[in-house]
Amino acid sequence: MQLKNDRYLRALLKQPVDVTPVWMMRQAGRYLPEYKATRAEAGDFMSLCKNAELACEVTLQPLRRFNLDAAILFSDILTIPDAMGLGLYFETGEGPRFQHVIDSAAAVAQLPVPDPEQELGYVMNAVRTIRKGLNGDVPLIGFSGSPWTLATYMVEGGSSKAFTKIKKMMYADPQSLHALLDKLADSVILYLNAQIKAGAQSVMVFDTWGGVLTPRDYRDFSLQYMHKIVDGLIRENEGRKVPVTLFTKNGGMWLESIAATGCDAVGLDWTINIAEARARVGHKVALQGNMDPSMLYAAPERIEQEVDGILQGYGHGSGHVFNLGHGIHLDVPPENAKVFVDAVHKLSRQYHQD
């Protein structure tokens, strides 16, 4: 089936587009009243992820409201550790927790590499259902957490502020951590390739916690394993390229190293100037980003002004996918998200004329 709107995929490959494509991280989510209703129907968050029809419904909800250029699979980054048997659950107000933590070489050795069509089959069912539901309107993005980011949750037992347990493992028992990261990289490769076979037309790796590392440790414990993933991915399917985006939050100082992995695009958070990012790596990769999600609390004219400034910063030509620098906040008014999306299309046309 021909895509009716492929500007997102074209921009990732630096091919010409008519306007800058835009989507939002966490675009299917808690800021939408219809999402809250569907989640209530599902019972809880993981039940929503595991019900292909409802996961499809919440994926499509933002597309009905906003003129977005891509849909992203509705799932969670912690599906892989859950499928490894760690017992994922969600504490109200606490975020994700695991019943079992990884705290030794023996615990790492016992972890299985999940079969994506078995233990993670519900994700592939969701991908197939969403792809059908999209009916060729826009491309579908698949995703995974990075090995380092997944490992932080598995070793800490949930969210963390100081990352002391995983850093203790990193410095006191690096061999065990490398074994864990290697197993996670293998799992992510299988998982993302299965998403691509099921219908994802682009994939993204979220390295949410890479920015808590020193430059050397980032290279050894995070980037190395994302590079392994990039090398292991299916890069062409259904007769077209499958672009890969790597996103390290607070990773602005490492753009050159990220771009050197062979990925197609690098995600930017809001702590870096996009003009500077383009000057550093824009000849090699596309860039995704990078408005501060909190800007969506501003008045409509201030949102438009910010969009204009980021578009000016990137400048003329393709290779920019407009996004927030991280996920949309749950108390953002949906009408402000619409102002943002519409502003990107309206104000970017001038940058794509010969």
Q: How far apart are the first and last CA of the chain?
A: 30
Report which residue type is found at 92: T
Neighbours of 233 (CB within 10 A): 17
The answer to whether the bond into 273 is cis (omega within 30° of 0) is no
Written as one string, the DSSP assignment of 288-347 is EEEE-GGGGGS-HHHHHHHHHHHHHHH-SSS-EEEEESSPPPTTS-HHHHHHHHHHHHHH
Quick one: tokens of 264? Answer: 């197609």
Neighbours of 220 (CB within 10 A): 18
Q: Please say if 39 is a catalytic residue.
A: yes
Quick one: tokens of 283? Answer: 């000849």
- Going by the DSSP 8-state scheme, the letter that residue 82 receives in this structure is I
The one catalytic residue among 65, 76, 115, 292: 76
Binding-site residue positions for substrate: 26-30, 76, 153, 208, 326
Residue 276 phi/psi, 5° resolution?
-65, -45
Q: Please say if 342 is a catalytic residue.
A: no
The one catalytic residue among 8, 31, 35, 153: 153
Give ∠ CA 117-120-122 in degrees, rounded to 5: 90
- Going by the DSSP 8-state scheme, the letter that residue 4 receives in this structure is S
Q: Please say if 76 is a catalytic residue.
A: yes
The one catalytic residue among 6, 7, 10, 30: 30
Q: Please say if 30 is a catalytic residue.
A: yes
According to DSSP, the β-strands at 265-267 and 286-291 are: parallel
Question: Is there a contact between 27 and 72 (Cβ–Cβ < 8 Å)?
Answer: yes
The one catalytic residue among 8, 10, 26, 217: 26
The one catalytic residue among 39, 65, 128, 280: 39
According to DSSP, the β-strands at 286-291 and 140-145 are: unpaired
Distance, CA of 42 to CA of 50 (rounded, Å):
9
Q: Please say if 280 is a catalytic residue.
A: no
User: Catalytic site residues?
Assistant: 26, 30, 39, 76, 153
